[in-house]
Amino acid sequence: MRKRERLSVVAVEAVGPYVLLRVERGRLDPGVPGQFFMLEAPGRVLPRPMSLCLAPPAELAFLFDPVGPGTRALAEVEPGDALHVFGPLGNGFSLDVARPLLVGGGIGVAPLPYLSAALGEPRALLGFRTEWHAEAAALVPNAEVVIDPVLVTEALEPGRDVLACGPEPMLEAVGDLCPGAQLAWEAPMACGYGGCYGCVVDVDGRRARLCVEGPVLVAA
């Protein structure tokens, strides 16, 4: 059941160029891997959608790339500050998979640590732009890392149940190679709970709200 609470910041840690923000869990349900939360971005009008990265006891942790005004504001919070957090939202990954392979690209690694824990630490394949970005691979057990210009699609093996998150071109390529793959998409959204119609994507020839029908969608 989704809830919105004001949670205290426990820690703000650097992971390569990314930021791992840990907050107290409060009474929030961590949800299913791939579900997301709306995090208040201090001083900004709209909250920011973030999938859960880790769910240590009594905490929720989110990994993000501080590249825009909202994520930069979130990167500047300090332990003891409080943030409104709303969730869990959307539909996460189905964990009913026989031979899982986690695939991540860049900051798309964010939901994979929590997913890995839920699936018993299966094999993972992660692609990053640089060695510095690849420091985030340490969050995912049993991960093989490729660095640009090598792409994760070059290292995919057939016959696996792929669960992926990453930039759109990567997800499209993975979906083409692996029909039935579970792909976690991203879209600008204002509310995260179906009100704004900002986050529509094409699903089966119609425009669906990613926050309601996704963010995890099955590749056709």
Partner 1 sequence: MSLLNASGCLDALAAPEVTAELDAYVTKTVTPLPREGNDAPRIAETDSGMLNSIGLQNPGRDAFVADVLPRLAHLRLWVSVGGFTAAEYADTCAVLDARAEVEQLELNLSCPNVDEAADSAAEIVAACRAATSKPLWAKLSPALPDLPEVARAVQAAGADGLSLVNTLRGLALDERTLRPRLGRGVGGYSGPALKPVALAAVFAAYGATGMPIVGMGRVWSGSDALELIAAGATHVALGTVLFSDPGAPARIRAELAAETAALGLSDPAEVHGRAHADPLSIRTTLDRTSRVERAKSLEI
> What tokens does 64 get?
């993000």
- Least distance to partner 1 from the beta carbon of 171, Å? 15
Cβ nearer to partner 1, comparing 201 with 219: 201
- Least distance to partner 1 from the beta carbon of 181, Å? 22
Residues of the shown chain interacting with partner 1 in the complex, contacts defined by CB under 8 A: 4, 40, 44-47, 69-70, 84, 86, 187-191, 193-201, 206-207, 209, 212
- Least distance to partner 1 from the beta carbon of 75, Å? 17
Instruction: Give the list of residues 6+ apart from residue 19 with CB closer than 8 angstroms, or none.
Output: 12, 13, 63, 64, 65, 66, 71, 74, 75
CA–CA separation, 165 vs 183, rounded Å? Answer: 6
Sign of the torsion angle spanned by Cα atoms 193, 75, 132, 114: negative
Cβ nearer to partner 1, comparing 9 with 46: 46
- Least distance to partner 1 from the beta carbon of 216, Å? 17
Cβ nearer to partner 1, comparing 70 with 122: 70
Half-sphere exposure of 38 (CA within 13 A, CB side): 20
- Least distance to partner 1 from the beta carbon of 73, Å? 11
Cβ nearer to partner 1, comparing 141 with 167: 167
Instruction: Give the list of residues 6+ apart from residue 172 with CB closer than 8 angstroms, or none.
Output: none
Cβ nearer to partner 1, comparing 2 with 123: 2
CA–CA separation, 201 vs 206, rounded Å? Answer: 8
